[in-house]
Amino acid sequence: MAAENVFFYAIAAVMVAGAVAVVTSRNVVRAALALIVVFAGVAAQFILLGAEFLAITQVLVYIGAIMVLMLFGIMLTRARIGRDTDMTNEHWWVGALTALLLAGVMGYALVDYFGKDKLPHERALTAVDAAGRASNTATVSDTIFSQFLIPFEVVSVLLLAALVGAIVIARKDRG
């Protein structure tokens, strides 16, 4: 088995274990820490897929920003930091059934359609510039600021709206 595959399966096993811990742990903080492991694994998979820029963004935004927000949420809602027996509701089997059905359908469809197809060796998310350097970051930024400029601006407005909205919703002296 090639080195890439060894890395993939090692990271994937850790990720799946982390994801299961996120949805089954009785301790909220432990679930949050397991989620960090999953995010880090996703970043590693992005590198395997040849998208370094996205991997760094994943670390900065998810592990750096979103997880801090989550931990603040846990703190501010004073969910008991210790063991909490009642984190899963009595209809958990509906969720398990739905998830298993979904997994079955998606797994069948994927195996049926893609079989043993391989990824191309040149996982070219990179373009080679005039000086002969290949850079994933340059390619992504070139694409954003040419082809996807308007969506990019819309996303900035969305982030601003979310920021203002979050402040308006959460502030105490609501007039």
Dihedral-angle region of residue 50 (phi above 0 means left; psi in -120 to 50 means alpha; beta otherwise): left
CB neighbourhood size of 54 (10 A):
19
CB of 24 to other proteins, least distance (A): 9
CB of 137 to other proteins, least distance (A): 10
CB of 131 to other proteins, least distance (A): 19
Element (H, E) at 143: helix 136-144
Say if CB 127 and CB 141 are below 8 A apart: no
Cα–Cα distance between 108 and 102 in angstroms, integer? 10
Cα–Cα distance between 49 and 46 in angstroms, integer? 5
Select 130 or 169, whichever has its Cβ closest to other proteins. Answer: 169
CB of 83 to other proteins, least distance (A): 13
Select 9 or 133, whichever has its Cβ closest to other proteins. Answer: 9
Q: Is 86 helix (H, G, I), strand (E, B) or coil?
A: coil
Select 90 or 130, whichever has its Cβ closest to other proteins. Answer: 90
Select 129 or 144, whichever has its Cβ closest to other proteins. Answer: 144
CB of 154 to other proteins, least distance (A): 9
Select 83 or 161, whichever has its Cβ closest to other proteins. Answer: 161
Neighbour-count burial for 133-171, b at 16+ CB within 10 Å, e otherwise: eeebeebbeeeeeeeeeeeeeeeeeeeeeeeeeeeeeee
CB of 66 to other proteins, least distance (A): 5
Say if CB 18 and CB 38 are below 8 A apart: yes
Select 132 or 174, whichever has its Cβ closest to other proteins. Answer: 174
